[in-house]
Amino acid sequence: MGQGAGAEIGRGGRLGGLWLPPVLRDRLRPRVLLRFLLLALALTGVYLGGESLAFLYRQRAANAAVAHMHLAVVPPPSRSTRLMVFAPHCDDETLGCGGLIQQTLAAGGSVRAVMLTNGDGFRTAVARQVRNLRVGPSDYIQFAALRQQETIRALGSLGVKRDDVLFLGYPDRGLMTLWYEDWTPAHTYTSAYTRCDRSPYANTFDPAARYCGQDLLGDIKAVLRVYRPTLVTVTHPAEDHPDHDAAATFVTLALSQLQADPKEGAWARKTRLRYYLVHRGDWPQPQGPHLKDPLLPPAEMASLDTTWRILPLTPQETARKDHAIELYPSQMDLMGRFLASFARRNELFGEITPTRLRTVPEGTMHTDASPADWETQPPVLLDPVRDNVLRDLQGGGDIRALYACRDSHTLYLRLDTRQPISSRMVYTLRLRAFDPQGETGPRAYALHLHADDRALAEGVRVAARGRILEAAIPWTELTRREGVATIRTLAVSAATSLEGVEVDKTGVRFLTL
């Protein structure tokens, strides 16, 4: 064919100037169209593949540069240390705190580990365990019992007694839904895996607890009250896995409410809260067993709003932690290289300074997306940028920062993105308000915004300019939606999506009024 597969078939039965019989012409037309389609798909694949490789190269180069950064050392545990480790899934406690656990016990302190879920929603691992691609609720429940036993063995190898391991039994892959959607017992969550709306496990801390945010928060406060830890650790709020994000949210809120409680505040205000990191992009690098390498924060998170410190480990402590990780065979079989990456010569912990919601004079904010109004306002949240391929390609949905302030009538929020606000993107701001008694509404308040929005029916005003999206929400609207008369604490977060696909999300930050 003189002009190749892209030549046009004309009305007179010609292909690139060559006359063809009608039968042959009709057969070739779909073939040419198919070739066009395959070529378009191939070019798209090449483009995305090239972008992915370029992204991974940039990210690994950035992480390599971080390898030489100097971080302060956390104070070592002592005889008076009462450590409580919260883990969203069975194994997170060992990955993040296996060395800290050893050092606490060696110093004469005490340790208690709390599993928020039993990891019963890992379909691939369940199918592998039962050797059947078709799995049902009973298979997920049976798998959770296996993961519990793995946790007891792993923590036992680190010196933790069986009675110091608690299982709360909440739904795997459902914790963030409890935070945003299913808060009260009147609206419980049903696991997509076990088909249960409360824990089906006999060794659950509170067998009567239902799958709702209110009960999960209550259970966390209950175990804190009983144990009265001096140090609490939990996963970081900016983790990619929503259960890890939610674990940080619930534990942070529980401890802060106890610190504000006149009856509990005396001990709770002495408790330190530190975050450990498990799931964030292509981290840690390099993956696999590297027992002599340091564990440092991802490059994109190294200089944001988390103060990172390290806990040095001896070679013996690192080796013992490595052995404990191997006692999770249900996870090692599928993610062995990733899990082995956490046995390093140190552990990594971060702290985030609590934030107050600043008050501005009336008439200061104009809701016109002008950065001038915000010159004196620091961000309440900084989010990593270009930390996965989708965010790298969709800069208008790659969140950089979230700002917040208030006057007597209105709450003002400003969302900054890496590239200009996109008309194709949906921007979501989520708020959950708590009154002085810790009460909140059944569902979090959510605003779904577009670049061309100017005003919403609820009286919310919106403006977009460049890389800034701004919203003004009347306090009366927020209190009405949240069902509270007075707001003491406001939880804020943001997310972006494109055609229903999440592009980016922030962790939750708590602002006190």
pLDDT in tens, 424-457: 999 999 999 999 999 999 999 999 999 999 888 7
Region 336-351 average pLDDT: 98
Question: 461 is written with which tokens?
Answer: 């005003």
The pLDDT assigned to 61 comes to 66
pLDDT of residue 32 exceeding 80, the answer is: no
- C-alpha span between 330 and 140 (Å, rounded): 13
pLDDT category at 482 given cuts 50, 70, 90 is confident
| Helix H or strand E segment including 147 | helix 137-158
Select 84-351's CATH number: 3.40.50.10490, 3.40.50.1820, 3.40.50.10320, 3.30.200.20: 3.40.50.10320
Closest by CA position to 230, among listed 352, 100, 345, 346: 100
Residue type (1 letter), 196:
C
pLDDT of residue 23: 61
The answer to whether residue 11 scores a pLDDT higher than 50 is no
- 5 band by pLDDT with thresholds 50, 70 and 90: very low
| Span 18-27, average pLDDT | 61
Distance CA 77, CA 312 (A): 12
Position with higher pLDDT, 271 vs 39: 271
CB of 104 within 8 A of CB of 352?
A: no
- pLDDT confidence of residue 57: 62
- Cα–Cα nearest to 430, from 499, 502, 354: 502
What was the pLDDT predicted at 481? 85
Which uninterrupted H or E stretch holds 509? Answer: strand 509-512
Whose structure tokens read 């799958």? Answer: 211
Indicate whether 335 pLDDT > 90. yes
Position 10 pLDDT exceeds 50:
no
Domain boundaries, the chain: 1-66, 84-351, 355-512
Using a pLDDT cut of 70, give the percent of the chain over it: 87
Cα distances (angstroms) measured from residue 36 to each of 20, 45, 125, 453 = 20, 14, 40, 39
Kind of pairing between the strands at 72-73 and 18-19 = unpaired
Angle made by CA atoms 27, 30, 34, in degrees to the nearest 5: 135
Query: Is the pLDDT assigned to residue 6 strictly greater than 50?
Result: no
What average pLDDT does the structure give for the chain? 91
pLDDT at 15 over 50: no
Q: What is the mean pLDDT of residues 124-132?
A: 90
Of the pLDDT bands very low, low, confident and very high (cuts 50, 70, 90), residue 7 is very low
- Which residue reads 């608690």 in tokens? 166
| 168/174 Cα distance (integer angstroms) | 13
Pair type for strands 489-498 and 509-512: antiparallel
Instruction: Return the pLDDT at 234.
Output: 98
Stretch 231-256: mean pLDDT, rounded?
97
Q: So what's the pLDDT on residue 199?
A: 97
Q: Which CATH class is domain 355-512?
A: mainly beta
310 alpha-carbon distance from chain centroid:
21
The pLDDT tens digits of the residues spanning 161-210 come to 999 999 999 999 999 999 999 999 999 999 999 999 999 999 999 999 99
Contact by Cβ (8 Å): 489, 219? no
β-strands 468-474, 461-465: how paired? antiparallel
Q: Give the per-residue pLDDT at 31.
A: 64
Q: At what angle do helices 123-130 and 329-340 cross, to 10 degrees?
A: 130
Instruction: Specify whether the CB–CB gap between 427 and 452 falls below 8 A.
Output: no
Contact 276, 248 (CB under 8 A): no
pLDDT of residue 71: 95
- Report the pLDDT value the prediction gives residue 58, as an integer from 0 to 100: 66
Q: What is the pLDDT of residue 326?
A: 98
Mean pLDDT computed over 126-145: 92
Residue 25, pLDDT score: 62
Task: Look at residue 12 and tell me whether its pLDDT is greater than 60.
Answer: no
Q: Is the pLDDT of residue 8 over 50?
A: no
- More confident site: 7 or 93: 93
